[in-house]
Structure 1
Amino acid sequence: MSAPPLANQRAIIDRRALAAKIGEIEGDESTWREALLAILQEALKAGREEMSRRLVENPSAGHALCGGHSFLLDQLIRLIHDHAADRLAPAPEGKPARALSILAVGGYGREEMAPHSDVDIVFLCERTDDERTVALIEAILYLLWDLGLTVGHSVRNVDDIVKMAKADGTILTSLLEGRYLWGDEALYEESKRRFFLEVVEGTERQFVTEKLRERDERHKRMGDTRYVVEPNVKEGKGGLRDLQALYWIGKYIHRVGEAAELVDAGLFTRSEYKSFRRAEGFLLAVRCHLHDITGRAEDRLTFDLQKEVARRMRFADRRGKSAVERFMQFYFLQAKRVGSLTGVFLSQLEEQFAKKRARRGLLAGFNSRPRTLHGYTVFAGKLAAPGDEWFRKDPVRLIEIFRIAESEQLEIDPRTMRQADRDSGLINDEVREDPRANAAFLDLLAGRNDPETVLRWMNEAGVFGRFVPDFGRVNAQMQFNMYHHYTVDEHTIRAIGFLTKIEKGELAEEHPRATREIHRLKSRRAAYVAALLHDIAKGRGGDHSVLGAEIAEKLCPRFGLSDEETTLVAWLVRQHLLMSHTAFKRDIADPKTVEDFVAEVQTLERLRQLAILTSVDIRAVGPGTWNSWKGQLLGELYDRSHERLRLGHVTSGRKHRVDAQKAAVREALGDKAALMDQYDDLLPAPYWIAEPPDIAARNIVQYSVARELGEALSVHCEPDEERGATLVTVIAADHPGIFMRIAGAIHLVGGNIIDARIHTTRTGYAVDNFLVQDPLGQRFGEDNQLERIERSIADALERGAQLVPKLAQRPLPRRGAGAFDVRPSVAFDNDASHRFTVIEVSARDRPALLNRLARALFEHHAMIRSAHITHYGERAADTFYVTDLTGDKITDPSRLETIRAALVDAASDEMQAELEPA
């Protein structure tokens, strides 16, 4: 799109000097060609080194950097053409040479060449079957290939161009941005004239429709949001391709030669064009760094590249935000700007088309009447400000218009969005404290139609962050980890959207309790405000939950919430991780877990609100984060806590609970109920309290069959649809270290243990239940998969297979995990359980981690009774309930410190390096 004039072009490549040097070459054709290639290779190397130096000196100068690479290739191709035409494919003596023109197309045509972009060219020929023309094209291509360039080329005459552009949209777009490079310029001009006359004329609306359809399909492929945390700089939403699409449309409709002419065409204001160039320049610079770092055409801004690009582009750490998080926040702000510019551009284009239709159509002069709503104009389902001074006269209207759009289910006219963006700076403290503005905002936030979409519009227009400055601080802010898929603002808006869907009953199958309980809340407004504020303090340093609660205490009264609602929201923000941490990291079957959770929650209203907030928070993290296993754990915790809060006490004592469980197991056994008479006293009371009746029934049947067959080892795998995992039960003679060997064997075949319970019968047998998922978080279900798990466990327990070397060779669970610095940490809690010491280990997720942690505990005589495994992207949080060899808690401080050191060592990167084969 017309790169700016290059400084010191000859430092990149001096074509005249090179031409003179080539002119001095002597010898036959073979010798001459070899010498020519050597000169060109040296020039290409020197030019790239110069551009690498400029990349370091001016790391954000995207246009100049891409223009420099384009200039380098322009000069090389011109040299190659001239000297190939003279020495390698000369015109026949006495005959004029047929016209040949070389066109740069694609990114090269736009002068947007990153260091390793493809070189896309068109050879435009007077005649494609002319022998000398064919020989010249071949000579040029062989030299370009010998230089190591990736060349995309086509050979066309003018008739071909017209015919193929009509038939193929991709070719049409490529030719649209074609740039004359070298050769016969008159032939190029003729092709350009016929292209616009015979291909473009009269097809403008069709082209726009097709480009927008392609854009939408591309967005869908790339995740359909510009806020994915590993964006594609070129193809992603808000990326370079979106800007290019605007240029294509502008050129097709208005014949603009460069992006600046979009202003004269009335599609951008001058300030919007400057914003266009800033976003484009930044994205081009990022792409250049990606190519330079990887040494290839890489457009994905992956975790492992983000740190290095941030460093190169001179972003620095700040309090509460790392350099990479600041860089990515700036990236997403540019992507957001691209989205806003696209809306402005398309609205102006639609207005221009509408005027043409009105002038030319059969119904010219007829206008359907707009209606008035609260002073606004409504036409064709769009809500518009009635005049340019509308928001300036009363800035509260900047909030009001979004409330009306949500309540009346209307779109906001893009021109009015443009006004709102322009006038968002009018929102000051006076507007923020205005009761009308806050009432309108709260009505929008807790809207019953689609607050998610309208809040996203409000955010795009810059109004949201102005009205709630604390939200503005997390606008476009990413969290540098593999757990969160979106920026903080996008995550928050999605959480509000899921809350609306639950209230409408659209997620009843996945969230039955939340769907039921949301209609029993005393304050639905509190639920929506808590969803808005739960992550509001991220990136400030310190505990975002505590800091967020302080923000809630200030904002809630401003929004118009009562003192009671404010207290509730502040508590929800402070404790929004409590329920998930309790359900996923603690043993819910342990009575103390529920006791401690209920002691913090205290009321049924808090429980309902927290359960709903927890569900939408997890759902909004990203696709696949919510699963049936998490739903079941949260549901079980909710039900036990609800019973305790409703009745005010435990419904029955320990003996009664065991008897009730045994009765439920007897019922689950059906026609095999008599087995309970035989094995009623086989397992101790903690087993019957911990295991659900359906799993206990399966254990009893498996144990019975193993005894009948005289099997010393019984392994059974069964998909469990309700839990979203595969139940793996191992019954074997109990011995120290059995857990670590089973864990290693399961991981060796690609299984991830998400929960484990270890029991010992009164006859000395281990009955161990594991819930296992595949690497994608799904249950294993194929017969061959189940057989592999069973065989791997048998090999580990019966034949003593060596696990550690094999485990160390397995790849990291997710690509890019090595980009994160996750220091292992170990926490002990002797108050979380009446019977066990609870140990929580947080470390980088990696092969054999659970096996190594279990080995460390085994070697220090800590007996694992249950294990609960949670993954947060690149980080694993493994919780163990343990005792010493006598079945007591481990309380000696020096022994705990020894265990801590062993676990940290087992979880460290250094240990992984030692285990990996050379």
Structure 2
Amino acid sequence: MTHPALPASLNALTLRAQLAAAIAKQGWDSPAARATALSHVRAALDRFRDQAVDCLSKSGGGALAAQALSDGMSVSLHALFDSMAAGDLDGSRGVSLCALGGFGAGELAPFSDVDLLLIKPDDGNAATDAFLERVLYALWDIKIDVGGGACRTIDETLEITRENASERTALLSLRYLAGDEAQATALASRFREEVIAGDKTGFVEAKLRERDARIEKAGRSRYTVEPNIKSGKGALRDLQLMRWLAQFLYGADAFERWVGSRLLSVDDVVKYVAADDLLWTIRFHLHALAGGKDERLTFDLQPEIAARMGFEDGEDESAVERFMRAYFRAAMDVGALTRLVCAKLEADAWKSKPRGLARFLPGEDPDETPDLGKFVLRDGRLDFANPTQIADDPVCLIRFFHVASSRRLDLHPEAVARIGRTLHHVDEKFREDPRAARAFFAVLLDSPAPMPVLRLMTEAGLLGRYIPEFGDIVARTQFNMYHHYTVDEHTLQALGILREIEDGLHPLDHPLTTRIMPLIKRRRALHLAVLLHDTGKGAGDQCIEGAIRARTACKRLGLDDTETELVAWLIQTHLLLSDTAQRRDLSDPQTVADFAAAVGTVERLRLLTVLTVVDIRAVGPGVWNGWKGQLIRDLYAATEQVLKSEGAGLERARETLADKARATRDKALPRLARINPAFAEWWAAELNDAYWVSFSEEDRFRHAAFARHVFETGRASAAAVRVDRRRAATEVMIWSPDRERVFADIAAALADMGADVVGATINTTVSGNVFDIFHIQDAAGQPYGREDTPKRDALVDYLRLVATGEFPVRRRRIMPMKHRDAAFRVEPFVSISNELAEHATVIEASGRDRPSLLADLADVIADENLSLTSAQIDGYGERATDVFYVTHLGHKLEDAAVTERLHAGLITVLSASETALDEKAAERGIARARASVLR
């Protein structure tokens, strides 16, 4: 047995000897000899793969492992080809085996494609074809699928590369492995002379367009929390493209020459090497855990890779979050280096110049001769006028970005690199300089599009250095399925959405914020609150810690005490509006009174509303929907009315809601009476005030039409559904006699039909019936059955039978068992309070979301003979938070024994999923990590 630590070349001697022995008597034509020979090749490849993995250390070693595996593959294929060619000299004549692509460049991951080319001689014959066929079958038998197109003459290969940019890229890394070396040399020479030399610029442009297409497919942001480490922005492909372009255009010593010419610094090269090593290390672990070619760093694999690479929990970050921060910092470094290389290509006319920042900004092109102050245009991009400019006046660092944004100019990458090398000038004196603050606020408040400018400041390292509180969240991740981006990217996205709302670009999605935005007086406070609202992440209570950090930052920026406290208040309460809107009964006077008291003024209400909307919108695609928008608008309207009136909060809230209920009844009654007077009188008295303040006029008349059908037909039960596009949900109306467990049964039936409940309004009528309204979505977050009428009809029939108790609901205890779900450990939480509502006890139950969770929780409540008066359903990725308003014998729950049993029962339901997932994860060997605080 060859020692596994020996170099690939020495291990190859053993393989060659084994192959020689296997075919010594009968040759490759013998099935038995062939099988034995190929088993030796497979064993050698396994040894080389193990050797490559042994190169990994906790901190890295991935680049060395990729090279080691490539070396092992190369010598194995060389030995195999030579052995087969020795037995068929005529068929192998003029055939050359070459490596292409990443393998040709000397890098290989455990399950990467092994790109090969078999060059055929121009005068090949039947013997040649037979030999190539035997080689291909041998490669397939050792699990290397090269495809039929891998056998070509030189002319055929060149013709293909002229038409296909990907083929041209692969051939640029052509490396001879075995056979006729002259053929490989001839192909490489003719390729450069006939394909590349005539249009290097066109070739570079094609490669960069190919990169754009790749990134568009993988996702344009490099800050998504489940990145593609091969094809994503700032990932391995970008590193490889950068190196290939440098070596192709400038030679193998391109990086050294660039350092000599000061395009790159030694630190830049160090960052390149470190990023390359980190990404290859991750890729090796990723392939090993996935058991195949998987390039996406998904949630379920992140904890295990973090553990393998030696990351440990810190005081304010878990091991997996520290690991992902290291990844995103590397991705930022790759982005900065890519910009530098592209600037070099532009300067040398290998690629055309982009329009820079102007492509992000609205309006016309910048003036031909803009006023640049103390800066200059170089190659169409903004640059510093001289090398000592920053040292002479460090404030020009921020002014540089202000000029770029106001003049819509892209930044010269050498200027960005210079900023990175001079960040030591950004000290406490700099941070407290009023001139720096003025320049910063000009960027924040006056830029036509602040998000891309602030992102460039972040990637250059300046924004985090100038505002250390923001610097603490740069590249920070939160290990949960709710957030789609790193914390800093989420913040910048929120600022971008804020500017869009200011510009009136979302009147349909955000009618309320569009209307109130021009009324806001403290615009600077709002923008600062958005910028700083998540700076408390990972440090205890994020709202309290964020407010503390905001006070420090605002004082340093020169704000007075009043404005500073307003920013701190906004950050400390930035979750209050969304929590109240989505988790509380908005028809309860206590809810509105408490919220109005916490807000205090209409100006603060406006500020908090806008902050809440942009915060939710910036979480990621699909998180904001019409349902959340309507809840926020309802709470805003009720609160604004209380704040604009005089009197005690709770008393005024009661009056406000009572007035609204009376007004809506009075308005509806004549219209209903014109159709059926008896029904109108009955319906107006059948429901309490809570119903009449919970819905719009359109909703109320639709509900009345449903109830009138029940009234006129005398039916005991009925159900109806409609797609509510305004709320992005399907509305379900159910009428039935009241009975024990009716809500739990309906919730179970909805879960059984694959519906996700996002809202529920429960009404018990004077006549002893229930009129419940549910809003449901499908698994994709879309209105349930929106394009499927038969599906909705089947739901109606099922619900009507279940509501009356005529048909036992199919209760399914469905546990999520996907690998991705198993990655998170979601801690259950239950609170039971008599302080949050005027006439009910409020139960908040939070834990892993799953089908039938709402029904199971409702069962526990029913077991204690509690009456359910309202329910609010909310979800954050893997976590659900369900809130129930209940009474016990007509009053708030005061019985300690019942409260204790209720708490224990709810915790048991919420913990069931975690127990099942712990067992499943143990079976699969999956590491689990606690999900981070969601918001």
* TM tier, smaller: over 0.9
Q: CA deviation at 1:815?
A: 7.0
| Alignment map for 1:92-491 (pairs within 5 Å) | 98-127=93-122, 129-152=124-147, 154-256=150-252, 268-353=264-349, 373-378=372-377, 382-491=381-490
SS in 2 for 1:446: helix
Within 2, Cα distance between the matches of 1:395 and 1:191? 54
Q: CA deviation at 1:12?
A: 8.9
1:74 aligned onto 2:74: yes
* 8 Å contact from structure 2 (residues 443, 450) kept in 1: yes
1:729 aligned partner, one-letter code? M
* Cα 1:180/1:737, change in 2 over 3 Å: same
* Cα 1:606/1:686, change in 2 over 3 Å: closer
Give the structure, 1 or 2, with the largest relative contact order (CA under 8 Å, sep 6 or more).
2
Within 1, Cα distance between the matches of 2:208 and 2:305? 31
Within 2, Cα distance between the matches of 1:42 and 1:915? 36
1:676 aligned partner: 680
Match of 1:897 among 897, 900, 910: 900
1:60 aligned onto 2:60: yes
1:697 aligned partner, one-letter code? F
* Cα 1:11/1:212, change in 2 over 3 Å: closer
Q: What is the root-mean-square deviation in Å for CA atoms of aligned residues? A: 2.7
| Alignment map for 1:355-754 (pairs within 5 Å) | 373-378=372-377, 382-540=381-539, 542-649=540-647, 650=652, 652=655, 656-666=659-669, 669=672, 672=675, 674=677, 675-754=679-758
Within 2, Cα distance between the matches of 1:62 and 1:563? 52
1:10 aligned partner, one-letter code? P
Q: CA deviation at 1:63?
A: 1.0
Q: CA deviation at 1:890?
A: 0.5
1:386 aligned partner, one-letter code? A
* 8 Å contact from structure 1 (residues 219, 237) kept in 2: yes
Within 2, Cα distance between the matches of 1:434 and 1:686? 55
* 8 Å contact from structure 1 (residues 808, 915) kept in 2: no
SS in 1 for 2:733: strand
* 8 Å contact from structure 1 (residues 11, 47) kept in 2: yes
2:797 aligned partner: 791
Q: Give the percent of matched residue pairs that are identical in Structure 1 and Structure 2.
A: 36
Within 1, Cα distance between the matches of 2:671 and 2:490? 42
Within 2, Cα distance between the matches of 1:405 and 1:566? 29
Q: CA deviation at 1:232?
A: 0.4
Q: CA deviation at 1:46?
A: 2.5
Q: CA deviation at 1:749?
A: 2.0
1:768 aligned partner: 772
User: Normalised by the size of structure 1, how large is the TM-score?
Assistant: 0.92
SS in 1 for 2:534: coil
5+ long unaligned stretches in structure 2:
354-366, 924-935
Within 2, Cα distance between the matches of 1:545 and 1:59? 34
* Cα 1:145/1:578, change in 2 over 3 Å: same
Residue range with higher mean Cα deviation, 372-381 or 329-338: 372-381
2:47 aligned partner: 46
Deviations 1:596-620 (A, max 9, x none): 0011111111111111111111111
Within 1, Cα distance between the matches of 2:598 and 2:768? 39
1:34 aligned partner: 35
* 8 Å contact from structure 1 (residues 371, 377) kept in 2: no
Within 2, Cα distance between the matches of 1:355 and 1:911? 54
Deviations 1:255-287 (A, max 9, x none): 548876765798644432222121111111101
Within 2, Cα distance between the matches of 1:457 and 1:169? 31
Residue range with higher mean Cα deviation, 261-270 or 697-706: 261-270
1:362 aligned partner: none
* Cα 1:611/1:737, change in 2 over 3 Å: same
Paired residue total: 892
Q: CA deviation at 1:697?
A: 2.7
Within 2, Cα distance between the matches of 1:154 and 1:212? 26
Deviations 1:42-85 (A, max 9, x none): 22223323333333x45511111111111121111011101111
Residue range with higher mean Cα deviation, 649-658 or 306-315: 649-658
2:360 aligned partner: none
* 8 Å contact from structure 1 (residues 267, 349) kept in 2: no
Q: CA deviation at 1:732?
A: 0.9
1:756 aligned onto 2:752: no
Q: CA deviation at 1:245?
A: 1.9
2:143 aligned partner, one-letter code? G
SS in 2 for 1:341: helix
Within 1, Cα distance between the matches of 2:673 and 2:124? 84
Residue range with higher mean Cα deviation, 253-262 or 886-895: 253-262
2:21 aligned partner: 24
* 8 Å contact from structure 2 (residues 485, 619) kept in 1: yes
1:10 aligned onto 2:7: yes
Within 2, Cα distance between the matches of 1:818 and 1:878? 21
SS in 2 for 1:431: helix
Q: CA deviation at 1:119?
A: 1.3
Q: CA deviation at 1:722?
A: 2.2
Within 2, Cα distance between the matches of 1:30 and 1:779? 60
SS in 1 for 2:446: coil
Q: CA deviation at 1:690?
A: 3.9
1:843 aligned partner: 847
* 8 Å contact from structure 1 (residues 584, 870) kept in 2: yes
| Alignment map for 1:862-873 (pairs within 5 Å) | 862-873=866-877
Q: CA deviation at 1:353?
A: 1.4
User: Normalised by the size of structure 2, how large is the TM-score?
Assistant: 0.91
Within 1, Cα distance between the matches of 2:259 and 2:284? 27
2:470 aligned partner, one-letter code? F
* 8 Å contact from structure 1 (residues 12, 46) kept in 2: no
Within 2, Cα distance between the matches of 1:659 and 1:353? 74
Within 2, Cα distance between the matches of 1:409 and 1:200? 36
SS in 2 for 1:203: helix
Q: CA deviation at 1:916?
A: 12
* 8 Å contact from structure 1 (residues 128, 134) kept in 2: no
Residue range with higher mean Cα deviation, 706-715 or 650-659: 650-659
Deviations 1:865-905 (A, max 9, x none): 11111110110011111111x22111223321210100011
* Cα 1:914/1:14, change in 2 over 3 Å: closer
| Alignment map for 1:85-96 (pairs within 5 Å) | 85-87=85-87, 89-91=88-90
* 8 Å contact from structure 1 (residues 371, 379) kept in 2: no
Q: CA deviation at 1:670?
A: 8.5
* 8 Å contact from structure 1 (residues 204, 252) kept in 2: no
Q: CA deviation at 1:291?
A: 0.4
2:839 aligned partner, one-letter code? R
Deviations 1:738-780 (A, max 9, x none): 1111111112222111111122222221111111122222223
Q: CA deviation at 1:375?
A: 1.1
Q: CA deviation at 1:162?
A: 1.8
Deviations 1:114-163 (A, max 9, x none): 11112110001223742232222222222222223344561121111221
2:933 aligned partner: none
* 8 Å contact from structure 1 (residues 101, 125) kept in 2: yes
SS in 1 for 2:60: coil
* Cα 1:668/1:788, change in 2 over 3 Å: farther
1:453 aligned partner, one-letter code? P
* 8 Å contact from structure 1 (residues 733, 765) kept in 2: yes
SS in 2 for 1:476: coil
* 8 Å contact from structure 1 (residues 521, 605) kept in 2: yes
2:932 aligned partner: none
Deviations 1:329-370 (A, max 9, x none): 01000001111111111011111118999xxxxxxxxxx996
